[in-house]
Amino acid sequence: MIVRQSFFFGWILVLAAIHAPAQALFPIQKATEELVRLRELAQIGAISRNRLEQAEDKLADARDEDSLRRLLYGSIGVEQLSEAQASELIASAQRRVDRVAKRYAGQVGLVEQGVLPRSQMEEFERQLADRRLTLQLAESRARIFEDLLSMAKAEEIFEAGHPEDDSPKPLIESFAGSGVFKEAHFKYVEAAYEKQFNKLFPVSARGQSTLHTMLGFDHSGRVDVGVNPDDEEGQWLRSQLQTLRIPYIALRAMIPGKSTAPHIHIGLPSNRLKSADTASGGGLN
């Protein structure tokens, strides 16, 4: 899953460089001023209702573009999003598709009647394709967010009490080891993994994340690795951690009715955050 993540992050960065609107607030301001001006004209009957609606759409479009600039192309990490922001991300991208699709549908008849030139539609088609691609990116990012959220929630279930069962592969398996997990351990395991599998160590949460704070967990000094405990990578990682006596929790997370996010949590189980704790303190011990 993390290979997929890095792939998407890579694309998001590339596309950010191409698409990121340089001055996002300016279009909102311009569209707001235009709308105010047109509302005055509409009041004295100087412009049509349709013209006013277009200006309203333009402002809404600029606001959605601003949301995408912040949540899709901005520097905010996917693990720093909130659930509301992840929803806003998709909704903004979807509305930007819908607006162009609606205008396209409204004009296609006029082109067929020969009232408008065909070239006019090409611009709509280009915009529509562009916005659909952005929507796909937004959906990918929201899916990654959902995966991370599922991982954090799976740990919440662990914290609520070990759901012991008799199956050969329990849902959750914990190893206490020496009870110590330090930065040096992390560096060693990360390097060994990358050497072994010739790919990046798929860390999905390192230390405290917004998601863990939101769920009320102290995840500082802990690391989540997005490998399935039973895959080759997961089995290798568990055996390394056992050899090094590093504590871990393997979460198979086949929770009925929930999206599954199997992973290995390295370090002691997360504690409940005390109310005085903040989101700071991200690193390892």
Contacts to Zn ion by CB under 5 A: 155, 222, 224, 265
**Of 43 and 280, which CB lies nearer to Zn ion in the complex structure?**
280
**Of 92 and 267, which CB lies nearer to Zn ion in the complex structure?**
267
Q: Which helix (H) or strand (E) holds 54?
A: helix 49-71
Q: Rounded to the nearest whole angstrom, what is the least distance from the CB of residue 197 to Zn ion in the complex?
A: 21
Q: Rounded to the nearest whole angstrom, what is the least distance from the CB of residue 212 to Zn ion in the complex?
A: 7
- The side-by-side arrangement of strands in the sheet containing 172-175 is 172-175, 248-251, 263-266, 223-225, 203-206
**Amino acid at site 134:** T
Q: Rounded to the nearest whole angstrom, what is the least distance from the CB of residue 193 to Zn ion in the complex?
A: 17
Q: Rounded to the nearest whole angstrom, what is the least distance from the CB of residue 75 to Zn ion in the complex?
A: 24
**Of 185 and 265, which CB lies nearer to Zn ion in the complex structure?**
265
**Of 137 and 211, which CB lies nearer to Zn ion in the complex structure?**
211
The Cα–Cα gap between 51 and 37 comes to 12
Q: Rounded to the nearest whole angstrom, what is the least distance from the CB of residue 79 to Zn ion in the complex?
A: 12
**Of 131 and 222, which CB lies nearer to Zn ion in the complex structure?**
222
Number of H helices, E strands in the chain: 8, 7
Q: Which two tokens stand for residue 35?
A: 């709308």
The Cα–Cα gap between 132 and 93 comes to 8
Closest CA to 123 of 113, 142, 112, 108: 108
Considering just the CA atoms, what is the radius of gyration of the chain in Å?
25
Q: Rounded to the nearest whole angstrom, what is the least distance from the CB of residue 277 to Zn ion in the complex?
A: 16
Sign, CA torsion 15/123/28/53 = negative
Strand partners, 203: 225
Q: Output the residue with the shortest Cβ distance to Zn ion.
A: 265
Closest CA to 7 of 129, 197, 135, 144: 144
Q: Rounded to the nearest whole angstrom, what is the least distance from the CB of residue 101 to Zn ion in the complex?
A: 41
The Cα–Cα gap between 243 and 223 comes to 18
**Of 96 and 212, which CB lies nearer to Zn ion in the complex structure?**
212
Strand partners, 206: 223
**Of 68 and 221, which CB lies nearer to Zn ion in the complex structure?**
221
